[in-house]
Structure 1
């Protein structure tokens, strides 16, 4: 099967993925212990409210339901599109502090880094034998990532980025991956690699393939824009970071883009900037954005920003307080990461043994 055939880029494919996600949610409610999740982030900057409402909040929900949750801090992926790692140590522990502050618990979640799990990365070698250069170049996420580099030559690591992500998912045999619809091609690549490995190399256990084909669990959250109305991005400086203070949040919101119409409405198509701010208020207050807009009425951009500032600062106050406690105890953060790396290594080593057995490479 070619990646062109496998990539879910049609409305029908998205509809099927959405329907499958609903089925999975029902299965999770009945038996969460049958699932293992793989999710994570690149430590290229600090996490922001877009990350929180887009994915972190859902990760906490799933972990609290009893799903075994693997959370990758993808430090090797920092160098897919840049010349150095930057202040990576500080960013790795910043990510970890954010994870713990929002409510992810080391008792139910395993936190680990790429660079500390050799067997995970060794899976890249057999996995690369299962994909073609043409398939990788057609991958829509590779194209997007390359466009974002501003015209610099594509590195081999960027070209093989989907294969590395497949190794992330398959090393721990995750059968559930929370994603947005734009990430479905990555997940489909992992499913293709799992199938092809079984077809080409066989099984360590004759009754079961080495790798299960992971399912996508689509995020229910809508798109959250930056304060300038553009895509929220660490590199664009249009975010509110989880680590920021109440005063820093207030200053950033004052600069947020609105429009000249004093009457506040929720109309994402025609008023994306205003609607984005209204939606953020709604998310913090667990209300419908239309209800928030109706309540604001003729408050204008200034009134909307005032309400948003109060809502965000109230909502994130306990998270910020917990984060400050965690940052004051670096020894605890190191122990959480060390324990997570130890567990991830044990899982990866076992999987690599199964891979070598299936490939008849045990000598």
Structure 2
């Protein structure tokens, strides 16, 4: 069974990405799983080309440094020819109404006079990502579940019209991830694309910077270290971060701490130690351009080999090639 997951280089990888997804990919991934950096998806809005290239390289290094099997990792744009061909076939299978119904398109285009066409069509590219690799399962959150359903609908329609080529994928709910909130505003999730980085801990942040960010984390004026997410979201966020890094229960951690200063000190050291190894290995890989390019090229070759027979069949059955 093939499971497929991706991360988009829309910003530097942050603590929530690592604890909630990347660490799990490294620990639970199998040799059949597919993980890729979805750099093409980062182009649906205005972007800086050199920054996109740099972030893609950084994310590739970080996934390998975190322990994700290099045999399972690739960069989306390295299959741009294969994906471009299949995306066109699927666009010719998809209707405008299906694409326009996607919730993310509605939300991101609302109130705007003009948006890029790719914002409308990128769910079809996502379907190509899934179907080209023969993925059986795609772990996704609520915001992406609709896109997996579109991939299922297009696979079913193609198979019914032209012949059986594609596996019918299904969206699955990933294991409950560590809930990491913005340190400056615990009412929102920590995000790699946040405009204000004060509340975001990035995996490659130096230890001293991590300590400064956590020291400034928002708490409250109750001066009680309790695990109460509704009443004390800032305190609960720090407790959950410690829990994710240490494997202890959040309420148990709360009972052992007597002040907010102690809470922040324990959180800082837990995060620094959790990220120390992956940060050091990522930086070493980024300094070894030859090794990183070798890993990337081999990942692309494996992904291409896994996909080629499906693309060839799809082209042949639609009367192309």
TM > 0.5: yes
Structure 1 position 74, deviation (Å):
1.6
1:217-249 C-alpha deviation (Å, 9 max, x unpaired): 322215321112122122322321111111110
1:171-207 C-alpha deviation (Å, 9 max, x unpaired): 1111121222332112111111111111222x2xxxx
Gaps of 5+ in 1: 1-34, 204-208
Paired with 2:204 and 2:22, the residues of 1 have a C-alpha distance of: 14
Q: Report the counterpart of residue 27 of structure 2 in structure 1.
A: 61
Paired with 1:276 and 1:134, the residues of 2 have a C-alpha distance of: 41
Q: Report the counterpart of residue 224 of structure 1 in structure 2.
A: 180
Check conservation: 2:16, 2:178, Cα contact below 8 A: no
2:55 matched to 1:95?
Answer: no
2:166 matched to 1:211?
Answer: yes
1:256-307 C-alpha deviation (Å, 9 max, x unpaired): 11111111122222322221111000000111112112222x412x221111
2:268 matched to 1:309?
Answer: yes
Paired with 1:224 and 1:216, the residues of 2 have a C-alpha distance of: 23
Q: Report the counterpart of residue 255 of structure 2 in structure 1.
A: 294
- Superposed counterparts of 1:27-176, under 5 Å: 35-63=1-29, 66-106=30-70, 108-146=71-109, 151=112, 153-176=114-137
Q: Report the counterpart of residue 229 of structure 2 in structure 1.
A: 268
SS in 1 for 2:256: helix
2:300 matched to 1:341?
Answer: yes
TM-score by length of 2: 0.91
Check conservation: 1:37, 1:67, Cα contact below 8 A: no
Paired with 1:337 and 1:144, the residues of 2 have a C-alpha distance of: 34
Structure 1 position 84, deviation (Å):
4.1
Q: 1:105 to 1:115 in 2, by over 3 A?
A: closer
SS in 2 for 1:68: coil
Gaps of 5+ in 2: none
Q: 1:84 to 1:127 in 2, by over 3 A?
A: same
Structure 1 position 116, deviation (Å):
3.9
1:355 to 308, 314, 318: 314
Paired with 2:112 and 2:242, the residues of 1 have a C-alpha distance of: 37
Check conservation: 2:3, 2:34, Cα contact below 8 A: yes
Q: 1:55 to 1:175 in 2, by over 3 A?
A: same
Check conservation: 1:39, 1:71, Cα contact below 8 A: yes
Paired with 1:43 and 1:274, the residues of 2 have a C-alpha distance of: 30
Structure 1 position 357, deviation (Å):
2.5
Paired with 1:222 and 1:47, the residues of 2 have a C-alpha distance of: 15
TM-score by length of 1: 0.81
Check conservation: 2:78, 2:300, Cα contact below 8 A: no
SS in 2 for 1:123: helix
Report the count of equivalent residues. Answer: 315
Q: Report the counterpart of residue 280 of structure 1 in structure 2.
A: 241
Q: 1:116 to 1:356 in 2, by over 3 A?
A: closer
Paired with 1:86 and 1:273, the residues of 2 have a C-alpha distance of: 36
Structure 1 position 353, deviation (Å):
0.7
